[in-house]
């Protein structure tokens, strides 16, 4: 009897995320709070930061990954965490080239879950160049850690490297940055947006830099259902001259 071999495609490396418009993609290297995430981040589930957030506002992504309806996501992130970062990037470059050949990819997000590797992969810059050449803006967030200087040296001349900093350090940070404002337990969603607006004004007054509240999170909290607020329609996180505040959210 002739044996029939069924070929299966490998699972995709790129994914999407809820705050983005249709067609946007993300590349994740592992779990939130996993091997790539610095414990110095105040939102790390086991944070060592002096500014560690209260438990109610710890990393929303890590919480999301443990949900019963996110088992497929968790399995994918586990695979990525045990795969060489350069191999993930090579596969992502192939997938992105295919997607961009079919039309403009409106937004590229690194680390919608987890963080970038502690050592910059050798092909990381090549991926960024290809994404930017396709006309796609990049959101590259990195928790405030020694990694930031490494990624600034690797790609800071071609794309924005955005530091995620603790709220007490936000006003004093000199470059492109973001922070999280509000309490999940003490503030209503509308109050979190109001607090974020106040913090944005304080950041601008202290730094002279433009600072905005993330439109996607604000729209969700205020229930406006604004499509213009979604990542890809809003490209502030790719703008070197703009700082961003996220009202705390899940």
Going residue by residue through the chain, which has 250 residues, state the pLDDT in tens, using 9 for 90 and above: 555 555 567 789 999 988 899 999 999 999 888 899 988 888 888 888 888 876 655 677 777 777 777 788 888 999 999 999 999 999 999 999 999 999 999 999 999 999 999 999 999 999 999 999 999 999 999 998 899 999 999 999 999 999 999 999 999 999 999 999 988 788 899 999 999 999 999 999 999 999 999 999 999 898 988 888 999 999 999 999 999 999 987 7
The residues pairing with 180 across neighbouring beta strands, listed in sequence order, are 246
CA–CA distance, 83 with 79 (Å, rounded to integer): 6
The pLDDT, as a whole number, for residue 137 is: 98
Number of neighbouring beta carbons within 10 Å of residue 241: 9
Closest CA to 95 of 37, 65, 151, 136: 136
Q: Which of 8, 141, 24, 16 is nearest to 73 (CA)?
A: 16
- The contacts of residue 195 (CB under 8 Å, 6+ apart) are 181, 182, 187, 247
C-alpha distance from residue 134 to each of 96, 127, 138 (Å): 9, 11, 11
């Amino acid at each position: 009897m002739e044996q029939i071999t069924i070929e299966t495609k490998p699972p995709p490396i790129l994914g999407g995320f809820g705050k983005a418009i249709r067609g946007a993609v993300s590349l994740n290297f592992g779990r939130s709070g996993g091997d790539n995430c610095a414990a110095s981040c105040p939102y790390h589930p086991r944070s060592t930061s002096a500014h560690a957030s209260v438990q109610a506002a710890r990393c929303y992504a890590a919480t999301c990954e443990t949900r019963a309806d996110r088992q497929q996501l968790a399995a994918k992130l586990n695979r990525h965490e045990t795969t060489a970062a350069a191999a993930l990037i090579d596969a992502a470059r192939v997938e992105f080239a295919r997607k961009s050949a079919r039309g403009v990819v409106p937004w590229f997000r690194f680390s919608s879950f987890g963080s970038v590797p502690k050592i910059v992969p050798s092909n990381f810059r090549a991926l960024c160049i290809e994404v930017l050449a396709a006309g796609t803006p990049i959101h590259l967030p990195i928790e405030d850690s020694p990694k930031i200087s490494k990624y600034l040296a690797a790609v800071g001349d071609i794309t924005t490297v955005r530091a995620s900093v603790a709220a007490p350090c936000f006003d004093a940070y000199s470059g492109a940055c973001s922070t999280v404002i509000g309490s999940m337990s003490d503030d209503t969603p509308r109050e979190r947006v109001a607090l974020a607006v106040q913090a944005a004004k304080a950041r601008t007054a202290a730094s002279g830099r433009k600072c905005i509240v993330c439109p996607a999170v604000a729209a969700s909290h205020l229930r406006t259902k604004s499509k213009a607020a979604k990542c890809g329609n809003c490209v502030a996180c790719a703008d070197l001259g703009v700082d961003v505040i996220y009202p705390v959210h899940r």
